[in-house]
Amino acid sequence: MMLRVSEPILGDEERSALLDVIDSGWITMGPRVEAFEAEFARTHAASQAVAVNSCTSGLHLSLVAFGIGPGDEVLVPSLTFVASANSILYTGATPVFVDIASLETPLMCIEDAAAKVTPRTRAVLLVHFAGYVLGRDLWTAFAREHNLILIEDAAHAAGARSAGTFGSAAIFSFYGNKNMTTAEGGMILVADDALAEQMRRLRAHGLTSTGYERMAVRSSSYDVPMLGFNYRMDELRAALGMVQLRSLFEWNEKRRQLTGTYHQILRAQQDTVVMPFALEYGGGTADSSYHILPVVLPPDAPRSAVMRRMLEDEIQTTIHYPPCHHLSYYERTQPGVLLPKTEEFGRRELTLPLYPGMETDDVARVCLSLQAAVRHAQHEA
């Protein structure tokens, strides 16, 4: 049986929730979205949550709400999905790419970030890569020292303990490969009530009232006092989210256990791969949602050969991520960016299967295949 890199858990509860929405006759943004926002905020100890149609739109919306725009710079790691950098460009601001700390800790390097602060720097966009939350006290002090807005890209970190607790806003993803899914969709956590209300208006064209609100008071009148976007979540996705959220912490615990098993087996193999987060987090004690399982291949084991050999064993692998500054658009628009640690990680990183439907035997199977594939690749190189 093929082991995929990720696999959503969907069943009768999700099916029933979707049918309930269809039977209700109201499928656009309405009471289920409000309920999902309230419950997600409660489970993450946040005061306000704003549901949107993707994490990307949530990032953009947050930057707009904080007044980021042309002439501004935003610090962001290059080791991230391109949406993190793109959302900065959408505002007219400039993403300034920052290196990672090391192969073992592939999170944004605070020293490199400090070196890249200029008078134009307005914000720092932290990325909780692989679900591992960056140091709260460290980055809060950094933002305060440099008078920066701190925003958490928590796309990987739903259910992590401190995710969303220290940024001015935190944005989560519910894409199909995330720890909980609504197929597409995202959520913004924000502490400021007025800012949350502004984001709710911005996500719906800047309208002063939603269609559901107008129906409830039997009014067709509205105004548009601000330029907004169409970033709304619908009732179908909110219904899925409510069901998925109930299992999030249970699923994250299973991910934690599987991650610990990976670390145990791969440590015993010694020279097969480098295990990111092993030294800092001990393979299972981090503040993390354990979203993905990244490893760093030996420099003499070509990644493409390892991936092909593991696919022959019916094990899917992938890459997280090609560095943003090496994507052709950014090479063309921001030439000459050098981030040696990110580039080395980008050349050698491999993502192994990790999802709650796996069992310990599946992890052992992946590790044995990886070891054989690495040795074969080294021999053929």
pLDDT digits (tens, 9 = 90+) for 155-211: 999 999 999 999 999 999 999 999 999 999 999 999 999 999 999 999 999 998 888
Residue 56: C-alpha distances to residues 86, 192, 294 (Å): 8, 21, 23
Q: According to the model, what pLDDT value does residue 215 have?
A: 78
Say whether pLDDT at 283 is over 50.
no
Residues known to be catalytic: 178
36 and 163 inside one domain: yes
One domain, residues 238 and 264 = no
Q: Do 52 and 180 sit in the same domain of this protein?
A: yes
Which of 181, 212, 242 corresponds to the end of one domain?
A: 242
The mean pLDDT of 222-251, rounded to a whole number, is 96
Is residue 7 assigned to a domain? no
CA distances 37 to 57, 235, 241, Å, are 16, 12, 10
Q: Answer yes or no: do 39 and 152 share one domain.
A: yes
- Largest separation between any pair of C-alpha atoms in the chain: 73
Q: Are both 329 and 208 inside the same structural domain? A: no
Q: Which domain holds residue 72?
A: 12-242
Q: Are residues 56 and 196 in the same domain?
A: yes
Are residues 161 and 176 located together in one domain of the fold?
yes
Q: Do 216 and 311 share a structural domain?
A: no
CATH code of the domain containing 295: 3.90.1150.10
Report pLDDT digits (tens) over 108-143.
999 999 999 999 999 999 999 999 999 999 999 999
Q: Is the pLDDT of residue 26 over 50?
A: yes
The CATH number that applies at residue 159 is 3.40.640.10
Are residue 287 and residue 176 in the same domain, yes or no?
A: no
pLDDT exceeds 90 at position 218: no
pLDDT at 325 over 90: yes
Looking at residue 279, what is its pLDDT? 58
Please tell me the least confidently modeled range out of 46-60, 285-299, 315-329. 285-299
End-of-domain residue from the set 194, 223, 242 = 242
- Tally the domains of the chain: 2
| Inside any domain, residue 84 | yes
Q: Is residue 127 part of a domain?
A: yes
In a domain, 6, yes or no: no
Asked, for residue 104, whether it belongs to a domain, the answer is: yes
Within a domain: residue 353? yes
Q: Indicate whether 5 belongs to any domain.
A: no
> 297: left (phi > 0), else alpha (psi -120 to 50), else beta?
beta
Report the pLDDT value the prediction gives residue 281, as an integer from 0 to 100: 46
The answer on 197 and 268 residing in a single domain is no
Q: d(Cα 58, Cα 66) in Å, to the nearest integer?
A: 12
Average pLDDT on 240-256 reads: 98
Mean pLDDT value of segment 84-104: 98
Statement to judge: residues 260 and 234 lie in one domain: no
Place of tokens 């947050």: 62
Query: Cα separations (Å) of 137 from 140, 272, 300?
Result: 5, 34, 38
Instruction: Say whether both 116 and 165 belong to one domain.
Output: yes
